[in-house]
């Protein structure tokens, strides 16, 4: 399906679920972007879940989002159980606006939900010539180092910076060896997951996606990744007033209440301390990209470059929609 | 040797190398702390190197450190090729002071040197009831993903937060599979390094520490760790006005100029957005620590807890000094 047609359909679905036209479009854009950049685990495969949670009143389709200005550079947002896309859209816009004035900006969000790809928001800041660091927590997926029970979410660390070219530097890296959405898709398609990325519920390594979903994902780099996931839980959960310590609800199978995900956006002007950022970042990237490559290796890319390439390649192509998701879409439209 | 006696000796050595008494004590404290917390790779094994660089006028023993206040929350420090310990001491104190007033603080440092353990500075902020994120770059050690040449430093991500107990949460994690100092010590002692942590200069995996020193260290988690190390280079090098893109000099074997390391300290009050941080962080830590453990596993610790335990255990013990370092100390005292 062409992206314009798909956008109309998704917008219509969210409107049918009582979101405003503006909010429906924000959600449609985020979901379609995930498909175009090659992250379907954060795209249409989640559409039914969002609608289910709206129907069950766990996502508020008409949130009264409260924005509390704490200082020139600091703002706290209560998203009122809004869908994550809308909460994050409000937050990143606010963060961009205060940072353009004050040079730095801290925006925390509570009572939000899963917002899709962190890189999608960080990139918006980089396109406005700002540097962004974003943290969000997520439902339990990773076992803390030393435990066989999951507690931390995939808790990404996301960083974006302008590069003085059309393509911003966008690093968006989960603290999990494998993305939970990818396990879910593998389970749906009956495919295996790579060895060494997850344990079953008994603590044994498994390549069975179904078993991994009821088990735990392994953190990157052992205690290092476990510590980083914990840091993200403190920064996006503990200090923002959101759920934390394993209490963020799984949007797919926990219908006992809203998710109450937390986000933290830290932004700054790239020329906060210097006056020749563009020249310096260009030199930096050029230096890394010109290094000698490993044997038979690809070109050296900076984070975000591959995603940008995929986005450009896919933007004029039809988006392929798996039959089960197409079925969901037809039901949701009724 | 008892730590008090050792402090006197190291202070004397730095004084002999023209540092002020105050600066000499700052350096001695940092080096002894590294020994006490069990990180000898950042301790006395570096003493001779610092003195060599002072003698060669690559470290300025009497720096005119310039502090430029950019706003209530933002400060830029030119460390004038000071020894890293002193630059970082000035910077973290400044960051603590502005954050206590303004709620958030950004302090960037340029023209600095290797400052030892990031956790040592972040912990100072946590002890003043503040949250700290610290970034520093370092001489080339890690090959960017896709390259066989080293360029990024071990570029740690460091995060500290108060826990409402005596022991702060202090995560200080290198982006390298192995600490460069540990390879250097293994080389000195003729020991092997773990498999899969480094490549020799031809791009082959090696367990020979000498070969690893002239080769490259591998980033944690492949492209993820490579991206995070790149992020740290941008945040501590590109935007601070310091060397970056592989230009930070190796303090042990590059005597062509000062290192010009960069640091970035981002601090915030834990109750910036909420008013019950202490209660929330206690709950968070309790929750993680009470999870069921892996078979035959140790208790689950939060980052910094083990280091704190080692510090307490070692504080009243004599510090063991390897004979080669003792020899260096005796020469430096002459």
Q: For residue B150, give the nearest of B246, B243, B85 by alpha carbon.
A: B246
Asked if residue A192 lies in contact with residue A207, where contact means CB atoms within 8 angstroms, the answer is yes
Q: Would you call B171 and A228 a contact, using CB atoms and an 8 Å cutoff?
A: yes
Q: Would you call A272 and B203 a contact, using CB atoms and an 8 Å cutoff?
A: no
Residues of A in contact with B245 (CB under 8 A): 283-284, 287-288
For the entire predicted model, the pTM comes to 0.96
Residue of chain B with shortest Cα separation from A279: B238
Q: What is the 3-state secondary structure (H, E, C) of B25-57?
A: HHHHHHHHHHHHCCCHHHCHHHHHHHHHHHHCC
CA dihedral (A232, A238, A240, A241) in degrees, to 10, reads: 150
Both tokens assigned to A232? 């993200």
Q: Would you call B148 and A292 a contact, using CB atoms and an 8 Å cutoff?
A: yes
Spell out the domains of chain A, with CATH numbers in brackets. Answer: 3-176+219-268 (3.30.1370.60), 182-217 (3.30.60.50)
Position A35 pLDDT exceeds 90: yes
Residues of B in contact with A74 (CB under 8 A): 103-104, 272-273
pLDDT tens digit string along A125-184?
Answer: 999 999 999 999 999 999 999 888 999 999 999 999 999 999 999 999 999 988 777 898
Position A88 pLDDT exceeds 80: yes
Q: Would you call B146 and A299 a contact, using CB atoms and an 8 Å cutoff?
A: yes
The secondary structure of B254-307 as a DSSP string is --SS---EEEEEEEE-TTSS-S-HHHHHHHHHHHHHTSPBPTTPPPP--TTHHH
pLDDT tens digit string along A2-20?
Answer: 999 999 999 999 999 999 9
- Rounded to whole angstroms, the Cα distance separating A141 from B41 reads 35
Residue of chain A with shortest Cα separation from B202: A294
The secondary structure of B75-142 as a DSSP string is EEEE-TT--HHHHHHHHHHHHHHHHHHHSEEEEEEEEE---S-HHHHHHHHHHTT-EEEEEE--SS-B
Residues of B in contact with A279 (CB under 8 A): none
Estimate the crossing angle of helix B118-127 against helix B21-36, to 10 degrees: 100
Residues of A in contact with B229 (CB under 8 A): none
pLDDT of the residue at B215: 86
Residue of chain B with shortest Cα separation from A176: B221
Residue A106 is nearest to which of B104, B283, B298, comparing CB atoms? B104
Q: Suggest the residue from A72, A234, A244, A285 to mutate for an interface test with chain B (most B CBs closer than 10 A).
A: A234
In chain B, what is the straight-line distance between the N-terminal and C-terminal CA atoms, in Å? 19
Q: Suggest the residue from B174, B238, B275, B305 to mutate for an interface test with chain A (most A CBs closer than 10 A).
A: B238
Number of A:B CB contacts under 8 A?
A: 213
Q: Where are the beta strands (DSSP E) in A184-277?
A: 198-199, 216-217, 261-268
Instruction: Give the pLDDT of chain B (334 residues) as one tens digit per residue.
Output: 999 999 999 999 999 999 999 999 999 999 999 999 999 989 999 999 999 999 999 999 999 999 999 999 999 999 999 999 999 999 999 999 999 999 999 999 999 999 999 999 999 999 999 999 999 999 999 999 988 899 999 999 999 999 999 999 999 999 998 877 789 889 989 999 998 888 888 878 899 999 998 888 989 988 999 999 999 999 999 999 999 999 999 999 999 999 999 999 999 999 999 999 999 999 999 999 999 887 777 889 999 999 999 999 999 999 999 999 999 999 999 8
Q: Would you call B294 and A244 a contact, using CB atoms and an 8 Å cutoff?
A: no
Q: Suggest the residue from B111, B273, B304 to mutate for an interface test with chain A (most A CBs closer than 10 A).
A: B273
User: Which pairing describes strands A74-78 and A169-173: parallel, antiparallel, or unpaired?
Assistant: unpaired
Residue of chain B with shortest Cα separation from A285: B245
Q: Would you call B293 and A147 a contact, using CB atoms and an 8 Å cutoff?
A: yes
pLDDT of the residue at A157: 98
């Amino acid at each position: 399906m062409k992206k314009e047609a798909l956008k109309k359909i998704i917008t219509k679905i969210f409107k049918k679920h009582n979101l405003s036209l503006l909010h429906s479009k924000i959600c449609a854009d985020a979901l379609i972007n995930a498909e175009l950049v090659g992250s379907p685990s954060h795209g249409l495969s989640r559409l039914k879940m969002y609608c289910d949670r709206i129907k069950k009143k766990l996502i508020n389709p008409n949130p009264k989002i409260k924005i509390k200005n704490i200082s020139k550079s600091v703002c706290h947002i209560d998203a009122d159980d809004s869908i994550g896309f809308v909460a994050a859209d409000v937050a990143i816009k606010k963060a961009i606006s205060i940072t353009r004035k004050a040079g730095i900006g801290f925006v925390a969000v509570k009572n939000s939900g899963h917002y899709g790809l962190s890189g999608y928001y960080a990139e918006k800041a980089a396109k406005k010539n700002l540097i962004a660091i974003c943290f969000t927590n997520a439902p339990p997926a990773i076992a803390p180092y030393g435990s066989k029970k999951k507690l931390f979410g995939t808790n990404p660390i996301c960083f974006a910076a302008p590069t003085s070219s059309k393509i911003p530097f966008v690093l968006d890296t989960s603290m999990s060896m494998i993305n939970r959405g990818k396990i879910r898709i593998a389970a749906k398609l009956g495919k295996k997951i790579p060895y060494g990325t997850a344990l079953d519920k008994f603590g044994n390594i498994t390549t069975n996606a179904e078993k991994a979903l009821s088990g735990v994902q392994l953190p990157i780099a052992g205690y290092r990744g476990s510590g980083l996931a914990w840091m993200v839980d403190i920064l996006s959960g503990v200090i923002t007033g959101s759920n934390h310590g394993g209490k963020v609800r799984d949007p797919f199978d926990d219908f006992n209440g809203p998710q109450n995900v937390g986000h933290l956006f830290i932004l700054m002007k790239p020329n906060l301390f210097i006056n020749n950022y563009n020249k310096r970042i260009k030199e930096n990237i050029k230096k890394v990209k010109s290094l000698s490559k490993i044997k038979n290796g690809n070109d050296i890319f900076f984070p975000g470059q591959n995603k940008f390439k995929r986005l450009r390649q896919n933007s004029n192509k039809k988006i392929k929609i798996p039959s089960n998701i197409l079925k969901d879409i037809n039901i949701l439209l009724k």
